Amino acid sequence: MTKIEIESAPLADSQTHAAPFSESRPEPSRSNGDGFLRRLCAGLGLFLLVLGVYVLTSPGRIDTIDGEARFDVAYSLVATGKPIFRDPLIGGIVSVPGRGGFRYSYYGAPASVFGAPLVWAGLKHALTIERAQFLFSLTSSLFGAGIALILFLFYLDLGLSLRKALLWSLASSFTTLVWPLSNSSFDNAQHAFFALAALYCAFLSARRDSKALALLGGLCVAVLILYQEYFVLLVPCLAFATLQWQPAINPATTPLAWSYRSIRDRADSALRHFIRSAQDLLRRGREAPGDARTSCVRFALFVAAAGTGLLLTFAYNDYRFGSWLDDGKFHYQNFPLFGNPITGFLTLFVSPGKSIFLYSPPVVLGIIGFAGLLRRTPTLAKTVAACGVVLTLFLSCILFAGGDWCWGPRYLLPLLPLFALAYPFARLKLRREAIFLVIALGLFIQGMALSVENQRYFNEQRLNDYFWAENPAFYLTHSALFARFGEIASLLDGVPATAKRFASVPLPTYSVLGAPPPRDQAAVWMRNFQIFFLPRPWPFWMAHFEPSARPINTRSWVWGLAGISVLGGSLVILGLRPEERV
């Protein structure tokens, strides 16, 4: 790699201050059969390369209680066809009594449903449940590789060359929080996949005037709502990308002055213009055929399809608990849902413990490159901005904005692939050396995230399960990221002599349940288990087990995944033109 730059066609002055719904039509495609095959090879290769690396660096076990709960529901789906709890250990912690005398999870169904085929494959011809747990822990890795593929296709539709689309897709995959959370049993990487897929379908539906793509995009949002109901807030934001229409109303432009009054006036003017443009869109859509009417139809189809997710959520609640509105989440909650929004915002963006800029440095490139994305595709840029503002405002208001116990601000993950769309346009304002420095820093931080068991920090700090409710400003003065340097250095000392067992439960692929009371002894308790003092990726810790005690054949898996990664890399190179090879 010698340089990273973007291809940016000159833009007319009229495009610089585009109206909310305006979007220039794409130039006719110059693709041919050979170009399609090269893109196919490159896309498939990218998917395989990212998947191979993600799986090789994953923990190979269910690393959270949330993940264990979702696994148990997936296991029950395979074994009984019902989404119930059967594990008394996990069931006694996070289950809720429901219909038929069964106990149910208060999590959404998709994470268990999508993991069920892997559980089925792991149970087939296996004597224990450990192989099924191992395979289930890889669910998000598949979705993480899917994020890279969709982002690659998105970049191509934004006009980037094949080489630049590949490079920026790889940068997003390996230098942001997408990597460690694709290696986690948390389902946030799955949220990010469906958010990006919904936006891509909405974007293409506008470019191609496709009602089917608008419906497909809405269905992707419906799946998001099935995961978490609050994603309904993103429906109008993502639906905005289906609009392809030039309003007759021109926005008022005033010089930007950095004062409260001028910014307030500009915001008020923008809101008024938005309302007038929306009214004009509806009026012209009723009066005559054209872009206004087709935009209204696509928007309505997208919203209607997304609404099915809310209806299915109500039905699933009724199936479990006999109430459309009761999802079980508040049965054991002894703390309020909402907290101080200022504390939440500071935690997510400027705190040393959870700032998204620390855990995903390339987000800075997205912010710097946003103006370039706005000039290239105004509607898409404004959609990304709307999603960012709405989700940020909501997450800042909830008490558990950090999503603990976890690594980084995981609830912000759905925004990272959307911000990544603006990464290439940062080249317009930054030198290549600065971009490489940000990318290298992001790669280094993700390597730290994958190195050591993440729950070690919380035990060493002797934190209670709900410490974030007791002290919402905790991360303004503490940082798991900064503590990671010492944790990595301690790996050189080896496993403590007191650590006779791998973990606190018999199965190595089971989740870490945390320290039992009293919590002030958690750091001492932790030294009884090897899991906290071994490298986190599964090829390392499984080497400490006898071959007969491992859930898989480690040698076959390592060589197989290395082969998949090499095959992916080879397809990427094959998909490039000779003059574009890196």
User: pLDDT of 485-496, one tens digit each?
Assistant: 999 998 888 899
Q: Cα(256)–Cα(480) distance, rounded to whole angstroms?
A: 39
% pLDDT > 70, the chain? 84
Output b/e per residue, 385-399; b: 16+ Cβ within 10 A: bbbbebbbebbbbbb
What mean pLDDT is reported for the chain? Answer: 86
Model pLDDT, residue 266: 58
Q: Cα(299)–Cα(276) distance, rounded to whole angstroms?
A: 17
pLDDT > 60? residue 4: no
109 three-class SS: coil
For 437-456, write each residue's pLDDT tens digit.
Answer: 999 999 999 999 999 999 89
Which of 232, 178, 189 lies closest to 423, judged by CA?
A: 178
Task: Please confirm whether the linkage preceding 405 is cis (ω < 30° from 0).
Answer: yes
pLDDT > 80? residue 576: no
Chain centre to alpha carbon of residue 501 = 34
Strand partners of residue 103: 97
Q: Cα(49)–Cα(563) distance, rounded to whole angstroms?
A: 9
Contact 337, 399 (CB under 8 A): yes
Average the pLDDT over 21-48 and give the result: 67
For 40-80, write each residue's pLDDT tens digit.
Answer: 889 999 999 999 999 999 999 998 989 999 999 999 999 99
For 531-559, write each residue's pLDDT tens digit.
Answer: 999 999 999 999 999 998 899 999 999 99
Task: Write out the H or E segment, with its range, that includes residue 96.
Answer: strand 95-97
pLDDT > 50? residue 38: yes
Got the DSSP string for 510-560? SPP--PPSPGGGHHHHHTTBGGGSS-SSHHHHGGGS-GGGSSS-HHHHHHH
Strand partners of residue 501: 529
Q: Cα(327)–Cα(173) distance, rounded to whole angstroms?
A: 33
For 230-279, write each residue's pLDDT tens digit.
Answer: 999 999 999 999 988 666 555 555 555 555 555 556 556 655 655 655 55
Model pLDDT, residue 251: 55
pLDDT classification of 517: cutoffs 50, 70, 90: low
For 353-380, write each residue's pLDDT tens digit.
Answer: 999 999 999 999 999 999 999 999 999 9
Q: Cα(526)–Cα(504) distance, rounded to whole angstroms?
A: 9
pLDDT > 80? residue 281: no
Q: How far apart are the first and last CA of the chain?
A: 6
For 102-159, write each residue's pLDDT tens digit.
Answer: 999 989 999 999 999 999 999 988 878 999 999 999 999 999 999 999 999 999 999 9
